[in-house]
Structure 1
Amino acid sequence: MALMSSLFWTSYSEIWELSAKALHTFTGFAGGVGWTALIGLMAIKLEQKRGTVTKAIVALGQRSLSFYIFQSFLFVLILAPYAGGLGGHISQLGSDVVSVFVWVVSVIIANILHKRSIRGPFETVLRKKSTL
């Protein structure tokens, strides 16, 4: 699929294209299951050894709804053509750097909220709404 997408391999038939797409889909599912298992095993191993970084990432997970919305807002603000407009002018590497930057900022803010015992605002609203 990478060779086809990059136009490095252009003389392929429909059968090759369909085969490549099917293989791409199948290996994507298998890879997803593999990554999930690996992350689960790492979580079990690291549960007893929580350092500063692990605690900060846990804080982000505890406020996942709020930070999902926060990250979406930042991506629109930075990348969308009707906002920052950077998305149409940067490469894949540039967008990866923006993504890592947004994630790191999210982890830092989540850690600050955790240290001050502040719940995520959207989690708080969701809890109040579910008790009504």
Structure 2
Amino acid sequence: MLADLDAHATLLRRWVAVTVAVILLVGLPWGLAAVGVLPGNLEAFFSVVNGGVGMLTGPGILAAIALACRGIQERIDAGSYRPSVPVRAVTALGRRSMSGYIMQSFLFLVLTQPFTLGWGIGSGVLTQMGIAFLVWLITLVLAYVGDLAGWPGPFEWLHRRLAYGRGGL
């Protein structure tokens, strides 16, 4: 479906509509009940409803991204799109997602835990978001440098090596 958006655009739009409906009819009231804008006893109800229909938002989110990126994908297919540095950096991290995930986990362990540096302990959400952004930015830059050098992510390389042996790389 995602390889031929033109042929499946109507179905993808329907998935987006389902997602918007679930967000507005379940997620929004659930959040409003959780913060006290709506009666608190509704929170449990919307939590249960979300457990039943919340998974319907996944395909719709993916469909919305695909439809939003349609023009870029058409230019890529036509060979007339040269990605900017930020796009290349995010793409590089996506190609090295396993290594990025493990690096982020390690950095969070080193930076935020009480038995290591303990950054952000007892601080507000802004500081914690800043630390999270810093960790993400570090992995983004490392992935981009690896992309420029033509290196695979180390854990992607190891995974392929273990799965396929020397000849499968």
Please give the range of the TM-score, normalised by the shorter of the 2 chains.
0.7 to 0.9
Contact 2:120 2:131 in 1 (8 A): no
d(CA) in 1 for partners of 2:45 and 2:97?
A: 37
Contact 1:81 1:87 in 2 (8 A): no
- Cα 1:84–1:109 shift into 2, 3 Å: same
TM-score w.r.t. length of structure 1: 0.77
The one-letter amino acid paired with 1:41 is: L
Shift of 1:75: 1.1
Q: Mean Cα displacement is larger for which, 36-45 or 78-87? A: 36-45
2:152 maps to 1:126 = no
2:137 maps to 1:117 = no
Unaligned runs of 5+ in 1: none
Task: With a CA cutoff of 8 Å and minimum separation of 6, indicate the structure with the bigger relative contact order.
Answer: 1
Matches within 5 A, 1:72-83: 72-83=105-116
Q: Mean Cα displacement is larger for which, 87-96 or 20-29? A: 20-29
The one of 119, 122, 138 aligned to 1:86: 119
The higher radius of gyration belongs to 2
Unaligned runs of 5+ in 2: 1-29
d(CA) in 1 for partners of 2:31 and 2:119?
A: 25
- Cα 1:24–1:96 shift into 2, 3 Å: farther
- Say what the alpha-carbon RMSD is for the aligned residues: 2.6
Match of 1:17 in 2: 43
- Cα 1:83–1:44 shift into 2, 3 Å: farther
Match of 1:38 in 2: 64
The one-character-per-residue Cα deviations of 1:18-52 (angstroms, maximum 9, x if unpaired) are 21323454675344433322223344433423222
- Cα 1:26–1:81 shift into 2, 3 Å: farther
- Cα 1:122–1:40 shift into 2, 3 Å: same
Q: Tell me the matched-pair count.
A: 129
The one-letter amino acid paired with 1:95 is: Q
Q: Mean Cα displacement is larger for which, 94-103 or 26-35? A: 26-35
TM-score w.r.t. length of structure 2: 0.63
- Cα 1:28–1:79 shift into 2, 3 Å: farther
Contact 1:56 1:107 in 2 (8 A): yes
Percent of aligned positions that are identical: 27
